[in-house]
Amino acid sequence: MANSGPVTSPEILKMPEIRTVETRDVTDALKAGLADFIAAPLYGLFFGGVCAGLGLLILVSLSKFGVGWMIIPIAVGFPLVGPFMAAGLYEVSRRRSAGSPLNWREIVFLMFYQRERQFAYVGILVMCIFWIWMFAGRILFALFIGSHHFAGMAAFAETMLTTPHGLGFLAVGSLLGAILAFVLFASTVITMPMLVERDVDIISAIITSFNTVYASPFAMIGWGIVVTALLILAMLPAFLGLVVVLPILGHATWHLYKRAIVA
């Protein structure tokens, strides 16, 4: 009697093969990312400018409404959404590596063109974790600082850096942020570029991303630290450094993905 159940091809279930990533791969990826940025600077400046403009708008809005303290959790949370913002940069690097022409419309509207695939679900995952972090930041602020109002950013900075309550808020918030950042980093570092290049389901892509971090923890976590540190430094001058740093890191992430996953 014939089996009436669904037949699943073994090729569909086969997970991508993972290579071991070493420190030199991270260095080479950064060099390749810089080369992509230099070769196609307008694309990088566009995506970096959008990100920097968004950060500057948030900074001005928070200052205007008297909740400048929220710039800390937002700034810490910015690296969480970095991989999603860099999606168009992955496509630029993919096209350059394949020798394909660059097309503004197709690159800028990449997520729209992939709406029938599972690319958007990663955006939902990223935003959910980001909002969890923002909600946690508000709770921590209430626990450590209470309802205290600050006369300005100088008074806020003094409280954060010189009082036990402020230092406690920074310490606990940094620890929680590091945990959430690691979870999201391990979930997306390979997932986002893979969804740009391959027609795979999001679960397989996320599992592959976690397996890549597990297979090369030193190099991959080191890459995450480099990304976070450079993004934070880029945000210090009112987010303006993101104009250059974001595109270089976005291109570099693509090249690291290509080194980590067998074609």
**pLDDT tens, position by position, 145-181:** 776 666 666 777 777 788 888 788 888 887 887 888 8
Read off the pLDDT of residues 73-108 as tens digits, 9 standing for 90 and up.
Answer: 666 666 666 667 788 899 999 999 999 999 888 888
Domain boundaries, the chain: 19-260
Helices (H) then strands (E): counts for the chain: 14, 0
Q: What pLDDT score does 146 carry?
A: 76
Query: How is residue 173 written in tokens?
Result: 């918030």
pTM assigned to the model: 0.78
Residue type, 58: I
Percent of the chain with pLDDT over 70: 80
pLDDT at 229 over 60: yes
Q: How far apart are CA 165 and CA 138, in angstroms?
A: 14
- SS3 (DSSP) at 199: coil
Check: CB of residue 160 under 8 Å from CB of residue 170.
yes
What's the whole-number mean pLDDT along residues 17-31? 93
Task: Tokens 């980001």: give the residue.
Answer: 130
Q: Give how far the C-alpha of residue 240 lies from the chain's centroid of Cα atoms, to the nearest Å.
A: 17
**What was the pLDDT predicted at 71?**
67
